Each structure stands twice: as structure tokens, then as C-alpha cells.
Amino acid sequence: MTKKTSAPKILLINGPNLNMLGKRSKEHYGSFTLAQVQSAFSTKAAALGVEPIFFQSNGEGEIVTAIHEAMQYAAGIVINAGAYTHYSYAIFDALLLCGLPVMEVHISNIHKREPFRSVSVIRPACVGQIYGLGLESYLVGLEKLVREHILVKDPSRTAQQADAASKEHLAELRAKISEVDTELMKVFNRRMDLAEAIAVSKMHTRTNVYDARREAEVSDLAKQQAGEEMASRVEALMKTMMRISREKQYDLLMRGDTNWSIGRELSAAGTSLDFVNRVAYGGTIGSYSEQAAAKLFPEAEKYSTFSFAEACDRVLSGAADVAVLPVENTTAGSVDTVYELLQKKSLYIVRATSIDVRHKLAVLPGTRLSDIRRVASHAQGLSQCSEMIYKSGWEPVTVENTAFAAEQVATGKDPQLAAISSEEAALRNGLEILPIEIRNESQNRTRFVAVTREPVITPSADRISTLMHLPHRSGALVSALEVFADRGLNLSSILSRPIPDTPGEYAFFLDFICPAMGQEALLSLYQLSMEMPYVKVLGWYQEE
């Protein structure tokens, strides 16, 4: 036995008869000698930053003793126990008790020889078993043992050397992966060509691209072929592949489809907002909706309405060209009533913007903070200032709009009632603003959309808002999102609402970033309109 210092030591044990390597039985054990095994093992060990220690014996007891001694100096063991592999419980016990990571190796394929050789009684004491690779079994065994079970900290190897060795190893693995990928690409392209041929055939037979039963069959077959362990991974792979195949088919079909209603509607959409002269907004002068309306359409006349629903009705009846509605606030979240209106009414988003909402606490002149008992605002305003309301013990009073709240305080003459509104609404109503910060968050922005009766897609449009009903099956939302993701479109917002009259089912509002009439978005919409129960484009517009 040879012993050296520094790097972690790996003991290589060769059992009975292995000293005879290269002399007989060349058909099973090749023509290399034990010395050659040890020399190749040394080279590999050096590359891995470990120090090899060699031991060979034909005696069971001696091997047991060598294992015991290894506990004093070795970091791991590689063992070819020869024929003892198949019946030596003494060696098995020694390996188990030594507590070191042990790699079992065999030159020949013990599982393809006489039945007794396929039994290894030492296997449960080992971290792995490598066989049938000839001399390579020792080297692969050593590499696996060191990489997976030994922490190599070799002061004689510089960090740069260790880094270079692992980079080299990574590069080798990557090269192998690239070879596999090249093969995969060939097979994948063949599959895509077939998908194209199927699309042509479906075009003639007017058959649906998506066939759930056929996809399940394809998936099941692949799962059977892959075996239990890989089944779920193979299923995911097949699903992706079939989705991509469908995408290719839709690309072809959309070109020849003149009946696609969304496509027709979008192509017929107006391209300018020059017609907007009358803007309806929810609330009175000084409301945040009015501020948003002024920001979006500075030249147009603004009409105040009692509610967001009324603003929408004005547009639908032709009394206004556009309605400006709040959809989301950074503190309080989405404005439910507006999403409900977008869901129910036939309106199209043509512009969007967001404004900084700086709520003020407005009171009758002369009122002190301690006089306040109740505070009025829109539900969103109350929610955005909920912390102060709760801390002060004020009773919240919900009104239709923040500007109405200011009006109510002014007309009610009740000093116990304060309003949460904009500064403008407070001053217009002759109220005084108390100098306290009322918002929960210092950043408080509300996003507004402008809606019209007919769709308008200006060349500056960069956002698409869609409304979808998804089928009641697992993974439906993911598969809808994947259609957009596959085509490189970024999701910018997602919101779900129950579908009235169909309990348990949900409508999804999905917004994506994409240029006006971008081909990728059109293809995604085409696919989803063919596969989902309901798809509507709520608007394709510029987000300011």
C-alpha cells in the first residue's frame, strides 16, 4: 500500500484474481494489466484533485482490514471486490461500518453473465455501481465518486486549475448536449413538416386543428414508451410539442380564413381619435376621472356623469364620443364596477393613462381633526386611506365619487363629516384641507382607460386588452398564456372575474404588450379564438 499526503485520498481496492489481469480471460477482462488500471486511475485522480492509494489482495480478511484502515486516512473507496462481490458479507459489513462513500466497479457486465454474478451483496453499502466498461469502469467510478460525494479542497491545485477543470468538464457535457440537440432538431423539423401537411388536409376537410382525443392518445403512447419514471416529463414535452404544431397549423389557416370575426373587426377598426369632441367621466368637476379625461383629451368638452355606468351609457347612446373610467389603483387594486362594465357592455378601450392620486382630507372651514367622526369618499378612496380611517376610529361613508364626497360635506354642513377627495374638488366646494398625509402609500396611482362604441387602433397602439372565458379544465389558463408566450408577447396584466350565471367559471382579462396589428398577436388571437369558448378584443391602444 502507498500513502501520500495533501489531497483527499481515494483507496482503490482490487479483490481476488485481479492481480492476474491481462494474463487470461481476455474476452471478459480485456488485455490490460492491473498496473495499467492503476496508472490510468492515477492520471484521472490527479485531474480530479484527489490522491489514489492502491491495494490488492486475494484474501477476504486482508480486504476487510484494508477497509478498516482506510477509515483513518481515506475520503472514499473504489472497490472491485472480484468474486467476493457475490457472497462476502464480511466485506459488505466492513464497507458499511467504515462510513466512507464507496463506489463499486466491475470490468465486465456482471448483469449479462452467469446469474450468480448479477448478485452483489456489497451493493447496498455503495453509492453506485459501474460495470461493463472495461478499464473505464474504474475511471468513471472514480469520477462519479469524487464529483458527487467528495469535497475536493486541494491546496496544491490553484483555484484557477480547479476552475479550468470543471469548466472543461462542463464544456464536454455541453458538447454532448449540443449533439443531442442537433438530432432533436432534425426529428422536430420532421414533425413540423408533418403538422404542416395535416394543416393543409384539415383546410380541405374543414376539421378542427385542436383534437383533444387525438392529443391524449399521442401523449399516452409517448408515456408508455417512456416508462413510469419519465411519464410526467414526457407528457409535458408532448403537450408543448403538440401546442407548437397547432401554432404552425394556425399560421397557415389564418392566412386563408376570411371568416374570422375578430380579424374582420380589427381590420375594420378606425385608426384615429380625431372624432373625440365629447368626453364623459364619472363624478363631478375635480374628480380624478376628470383629471384623467383632461390629460387624455385636453381639447375635448368634458361631461360629468353620476356613475361610471352612466358614462358608458352616454357613449353607447351617442351622447358622448368617449368615456374615461378608472380601472386599477396601485394601493386598492382593480375597480370592480368598471371591469363589470367592460365585461357586459360593448365598448372598446382606445387609450389608457395613469395619474398620481393625492388624496386630501377636506372639511368645513374651521373644523379640527378631533371634530371628525365620519369620512366620505368613493370605495377606492376609502380603501387607499384605510389605515388613517381605522387609526382615527372614523366611520367610512361610501359615495359614488370622491368629488361627490366633497360636495356632500359642503352641502351637509355637518362638521363631523370630512371628505377624502382631490385638492381641486375640496377647494371648488369651499372646503378646507387639513394638513395631514391621509394615503396609506406614498405612491398612489390610478390607471384610467378611455372607451368608445367602435374599435379604434391608432398606429401608436402598443397594448392589447383581451377578455376570455376559459374551458373548465386543468391547465386551461396556462395553455392560453403559453400561446402568447410562444410568440414572444409579454403579459402586462391579468385579472379574473366570475362569469355571471355560470358559477365556478371565470372570465380573464389579459393584457399584452404588442405593436398595433402585430402579426404575432393576431396569430395568438386566432389560435385562442379557435380553442377557447369566448375571446373578445377589448382594445388595442396606446398606454401613456
Residue 23 in the binding site for ligand CA2 (CB under 6 A)? yes
Stretch that binds ligand CA2, among 107-115, 196-204, 446-454, 511-519 (CB under 6 A): 107-115
**415 DSSP 8-state letter:** T
What are the start-end ranges of the E strands in 107-249?
Answer: 128-131
Among 76, 82, 282, 283, interactor with ligand CA2 by CB under 6 A: 82
Residue 108 in the binding site for ligand CA2 (CB under 6 A)? yes
Residue 33 in the binding site for ligand CA2 (CB under 6 A)? no
Residue 21 in the binding site for ligand CA2 (CB under 6 A)? yes
Q: Select from 328, 270, 357 the least CA-distant residue to 543.
A: 328
CB of 115 to ligand CA2, least distance (A): 11
Q: Which helix (H) or strand (E) is 304 found in, with range?
A: strand 301-305
> Closer CB to ligand CA2, residue 13 or residue 234?
13
Of 106, 250, 288, 378, which one is the catalytic site residue?
106
Residue 110 in the binding site for ligand CA2 (CB under 6 A)? yes
- Reduced to 3 states (helix: H, G, I; strand: E, B; else coil), residue 447 is strand
CB of 130 to ligand CA2, least distance (A): 10
- Residues 367-386 close enough to bind ligand CA2 by CB under 6 A: none
Interface with ligand CA2 (CB under 6 A), residue total 17
Cell numbers for 424: 381641486
Q: Which helix (H) or strand (E) is 420 found in, with range?
A: strand 417-421
| Helix boundaries (H) for 212-281 | 212-226, 231-256, 261-267
Residue 107 in the binding site for ligand CA2 (CB under 6 A)? yes
CB of 86 to ligand CA2, least distance (A): 6
Q: In degrees, to the nearest 5, what angle opens at C-alpha 491 toward C-alphas 487 and 493?
A: 160
In terms of residues, how long is the chain?
Answer: 544
Stretch that binds ligand CA2, among 62-70, 82-90, 250-258, 448-456 (CB under 6 A): 82-90
Among 17, 42, 330, 496, interactor with ligand CA2 by CB under 6 A: 17
Does 106 participate in catalysis according to the annotation? yes
Residue 24 in the binding site for ligand CA2 (CB under 6 A)? yes
Residues 6+ apart with CB under 8 A from 160: none
Residue with cell 407548437: 244
Among 85, 331, 377, 524, interactor with ligand CA2 by CB under 6 A: 85
Residue 14 in the binding site for ligand CA2 (CB under 6 A)? no
**Gap between the Cα atoms of 17 and 106, Å rounded:** 13
> Closer CB to ligand CA2, residue 66 or residue 107?
107
Residue 212 in the binding site for ligand CA2 (CB under 6 A)? no
Residue 112 in the binding site for ligand CA2 (CB under 6 A)? no
Among 3, 4, 25, 173, interactor with ligand CA2 by CB under 6 A: 25
CB of 202 to ligand CA2, least distance (A): 57
**5 DSSP 8-state letter:** -
Task: Please report, for the chain, how many H helices and E strands are present, in that order.
Answer: 18, 20
Residues 6+ apart with CB under 8 A from 78: 10, 11, 12, 13, 41, 102, 103, 105, 138, 141, 142, 145
Cell numbers for 20: 492476474
**Gap between the Cα atoms of 494 and 507, Å rounded:** 11
**Four-point Cα dihedral 392, 397, 399, 405, nearest 10:** -50
Among 111, 117, 144, 345, interactor with ligand CA2 by CB under 6 A: 117
- Reduced to 3 states (helix: H, G, I; strand: E, B; else coil), residue 372 is coil
Residue 20 in the binding site for ligand CA2 (CB under 6 A)? yes
The residue type found at 156 is S
> Closer CB to ligand CA2, residue 25 or residue 460?
25
Does 29 participate in catalysis according to the annotation? yes
The residue type found at 268 is A
> Closer CB to ligand CA2, residue 38 or residue 493?
38
Stretch that binds ligand CA2, among 17-25, 166-174, 361-369, 392-400 (CB under 6 A): 17-25
Among all residues, which ones are annotated catalytic? 29, 106
Task: Return residues touching ligand CA2 (CB under 6 A).
Answer: 17-18, 20-21, 23-25, 29, 80, 82-83, 85, 106-108, 110, 117
